[in-house]
Amino acid sequence: MKIYSWNMLHRNRELDRAFEFIRHADFDIFCLQEVPEAFLARLQTLPCSLASGVDAEKTFPSETVPMYNVVLSKHPITAQNGIPFADYWQLLPLYVRIFTRLMRPFSFSKMSNRGGLYADVMVNGVSLRVFCLHLMLAHPALRLKEFERAMLEHNKTRPTIVCGDFNILEKPHITPLNWLMGGRVTDILLYGRERLTLERRFVEHELHNPLRNKVTHPLSQSQLDHILVSHVFSIRNAEVLRDRIGSDHHPIHVEIA
C-alpha cells in the first residue's frame, strides 16, 4: 500500500498543479490537511472514495474561511467520523491574541470549529482505520491533548494509519513560537522535549514513525508531517517529496506491506 500525506496550505496559489499531482499520484490512501472549500469540490470529482471533515475555520475581519481534512482512498470507505477538538482560543493569554493579530499578514488568525477525521477503509477484506489530523499551532501541551483526543478512537488491535501535520517544533530557532502561542519558557529552552514526549506516546499506542528525523517543513527545519503505522505493517519505503507545489510543507510518502 502506498500512503501519502500533505498539508497543502489553504492559501496555496498553485491549485491546478496541486490537483494534477494528486490525480496522477500512485496512491492507495492520500490524506490532505488545510484543503480549501473550492478545492474539496474538485477532489470529489476524482475516481476514488473520499471522506472529509472540517479542519478549522480561520476568522478574518471580513470573512470566515473553512479548511478541511480529506482522506482519499482507492479502496472502499465504509465509515467516517469527525473528531472534535476543544476550543482553546479564549483560554490563551491576551498576548497570544495580540501576536496573532500582528501576524495576520502571514495568515495567522483566530481558529474555531477545529477537528480531526478518521475513515474506515476496507482493503482485501480487512478494515483499516485511517486518521487525518492537523494539530494546533499553539504549544506542546495543547498539541498533546489533541493527539490523545484523537487516539481515543484508536484500537491497538486494529490496523491503523495516522496521517497529518502535528506541528511539533523541535529546533531552537523556531521553538520561541511555542511561548508566543501561550506555552512556557521551558518550551523554548527544552526544544527537543516535545519530540521525545510524542515519540514515547507513539510507542505506547503501538505506532511507528518511519520518517523520524526527516525535515518536512523548511522554515521550521522540523518533522511537522507524519505517517504513523501499526506494527503489523512492514515499511518498504519512506520519503519526503522534494516539490512543495505551492505549500510550505513537503508531501510525504510511505509504502507499507
- Identify the pLDDT of residue 64: 84
pLDDT, tens digit (0-9, with 9 covering 90-100), for 10-24: 999 999 999 999 999
pLDDT, tens digit (0-9, with 9 covering 90-100), for 141-163: 999 999 999 999 999 999 999 99
Residue 95 pLDDT level (bands cut at 50, 70, 90): confident
* Mean pLDDT, residues 49-62: 90
Residues in the chain: 257
| Sequence-distant (≥ 6) Cβ neighbours of residue 154 within 8 angstroms | 129, 131, 160, 162, 205
Instruction: For residue 36, count other CB atoms closer than 10 A to its CB.
Output: 19
Assess whether pLDDT exceeds 90 at residue 84.
Answer: yes
pLDDT, tens digit (0-9, with 9 covering 90-100), for 202-226: 999 999 999 999 999 999 999 999 9
Name the nearest CA neighbour of 141 among 98, 187, 86, 95: 187
Cell numbers found for residue 57: 475555520
| Sequence-distant (≥ 6) Cβ neighbours of residue 102 within 8 angstroms | none
Q: How far apart are CA 40 and CA 43, in angstroms?
A: 5
Are 208 and 160 in contact by the 8 Å Cβ rule? The answer is no
* Mean pLDDT, residues 221-238: 97
Q: How far apart are CA 245 and CA 6, in angstroms?
A: 10
Please state the three-class secondary structure of the chain as a single string.
CEEEEEECCCCCCCHHHHHHHHHHCCCCEEEEEEEEHHHHHHHCCCCCEEEEEEEEEEECCCCEEEEEEEEEECCCEEEEEEEECCCCHHHCCHHHHHHHHHCHHHCCCEEECCEEEEEEEEECCEEEEEEEEECCCCCHHHHHHHHHHHHCCCCCCCCEEEEEECCCCCCCCCCHHHHHCCCCCHHHHCCCHHHHHHHHHHHHCCEECCCCCCCCECCCCECCEEEEEECCCCEEEEEECCCCCCCCCCCEEEEEC
Distances (CA, A) of 229 to 1, 69, 141, 161: 12, 19, 23, 5
Q: Which domains does the chain have, with CATH numbers?
A: 2-256 (3.60.10.10)
Count the alpha carbons within 13 Å of 163 in the hemisphere toward its beta carbon.
26
